[in-house]
Structure 1
Amino acid sequence: MAGTPGPGDPKPLWRRHFRQQRAQQPEEQRRRLLEQAQAGIPRLIGADQRLGLYWPLAGEPDLRDLAKALPGRLALPAIRTPQGAGRLGYEIWQPGDPLQPDAAGVPAPAPAGRPLPASALGLLLVPALAYDRRAVRLGYGGGWFDRLRADPAWRSVPALIVASAACAVEQLPLDPWDVPFDGWLSERGIEWLQPVERPAL
């Protein structure tokens, strides 16, 4: 596990630390992480389901090449603000589709589509600044994925943190609203906290 701020330090300090650490990661680690994703992720998606991917921001692992193994079966997260209340959902996307910033400024499908139900997703991949052995994720502080996965329907969708093994720590600060993930994907492969049944392909 990497050297980190102390257990009593606030999350903003942890975020600052891991932003710096992630910026120093060699390209070789990102390449190996993509190879692990290509080897392990497609077989986890049922024939009638989609992979919840993400649009990579600066320093995040870029897994968009998974589109080659899962053509027409991807979805991107999008934060929309109907009636002024922001909510994260997943919308259909494939390479070449137009994008526009969502309510958080992250590229999302354009024009805004109808959010997919949780049952349409076979797996969610969510980037992180850091994670711990409980599969607690350190994100950017918006709480969007925690609110989504507080819904039992979405909590039933397997979800993996995506980050380099160098971003793993023994224990992150835990807030009452944090929803642990089911495991993580790093350049060392996929590690589940509990066995997950593979879908019938």
Structure 2
Amino acid sequence: MDKVDHQLNKVKLRRTLLKTRQSMSIREWREKSDRICKLLQASTLFTEAKTILAYFSFRQEPDLSPLFADNQYRWGFPRCIGQSLHWHSWQSGESLQINSYGIQEPHPETPTINPQEVDLIIVPSVACDRRGYRLGYGGGYYDRLLSSTEWANKPTVGIVFESAYLTQLPIQPWDQPLLAVATETEFYINS
């Protein structure tokens, strides 16, 4: 399969999965999101972490916001600057701003988080597969982050609903597998 076919497959798959996710009722979305939070909280990757990078739910991604009120963790959230993600501290109750994609993010003056401080990265995904590969939104932000030397060995957990946990995704040489995937039914550790 050539590169053009491969990219078209990813685009079609992404579109189909996003449509499925957004057709979920608010009640079902909330219940499944809450179950993902519970499974994540029960994992040792989570309980042993001190500084966790996460995301604010957008377009009916699984919502992890109930976790963010737990101040025993230091929470970091991304700001998109150019082609990179920059991580900033945020605590429940602090104000946020909306970026050009329509996604909430911390204000630029909030403290930054350096790679050596991070214990766990929670990665938003359109889909994940049983090998730990993820289908993102096509911008390459997390692929660039996870392939850079200072971030490459950080534990990562992809977050998807079970309907988007697939047997196998089309991958590219630069795709970085995640250590684990959390859905509303199970916490999968990838081998």
Q: TM-score, normalised by structure 1?
A: 0.81
Please say if 1:133 is aligned against 2:130. Answer: yes
Q: Is the 8 A contact 1:42 1:69 kept in 2?
A: no
Look up the SS of the partner of 2:119 in the other structure.
strand
Moved over 4 A (4+): none
Report the RMSD for the aligned CA atoms in angstroms.
Answer: 2.2
Rounded Cα–Cα distance in structure 2 between residues aligned with 1:139 and 1:132: 12
Q: Is the 8 A contact 1:80 1:103 kept in 2?
A: no
Please list the CA deviations of residues 7-42 of structure 1 after superposition, one character each: whole Å capped at 9, or x if unmatched.
896211001110122124423322321222233364
- Alignment-mate amino acid for residue 81 of structure 2: R
Q: Is the 8 A contact 2:46 2:120 kept in 1?
A: no
- Alignment-mate amino acid for residue 32 of structure 1: R
Q: Is the 8 A contact 1:51 1:124 kept in 2?
A: yes
Identify the residue that residue 98 of structure 1 maps to in structure 2.
95
- Alignment-mate amino acid for residue 59 of structure 1: Q
Identify the residue that residue 23 of structure 1 maps to in structure 2.
22
CA deviation after TM superposition for structure 1 residue 150, in Å = 0.9
Identify the residue that residue 44 of structure 1 maps to in structure 2.
48
Point out the more displaced range, 27-36 or 150-159. 27-36
Select which of 141, 165, 168 maps to 2:165: 168
Report % sequence identity.
29
Q: Is the 8 A contact 1:101 1:108 kept in 2?
A: yes
Look up the SS of the partner of 2:14 in the other structure.
helix
Please say if 1:59 is aligned against 2:63. Answer: no
Rounded Cα–Cα distance in structure 2 between residues aligned with 1:175 and 1:42: 29
Rounded Cα–Cα distance in structure 2 between residues aligned with 1:130 and 1:117: 27
- Alignment-mate amino acid for residue 116 of structure 1: I
Q: Is the 8 A contact 1:183 1:193 kept in 2?
A: yes
CA deviation after TM superposition for structure 1 residue 122, in Å = 0.8
Please list the CA deviations of residues 86-142 of structure 1 after superposition, one character each: whole Å capped at 9, or x if unmatched.
311211111121212345442111134453211111101111111111111111100
Q: Is the 8 A contact 1:67 1:74 kept in 2?
A: yes
Which structure is higher in helix share? Answer: 2
Distance 1:176 1:112, change over 3 A: farther
Q: Is the 8 A contact 2:52 2:121 kept in 1?
A: yes
Look up the SS of the partner of 1:21 in the other structure.
helix
Q: Which runs of 5+ in 1 are unaligned?
A: 1-6, 195-201
Distance 1:114 1:54, change over 3 A: same
Look up the SS of the partner of 1:12 in the other structure.
helix
Rounded Cα–Cα distance in structure 1 between residues aligned with 2:67 and 2:56: 12
Q: Is the 8 A contact 2:79 2:105 kept in 1?
A: yes
Q: Which has the higher contact order (CA 8 A, sep 6+)?
A: 1
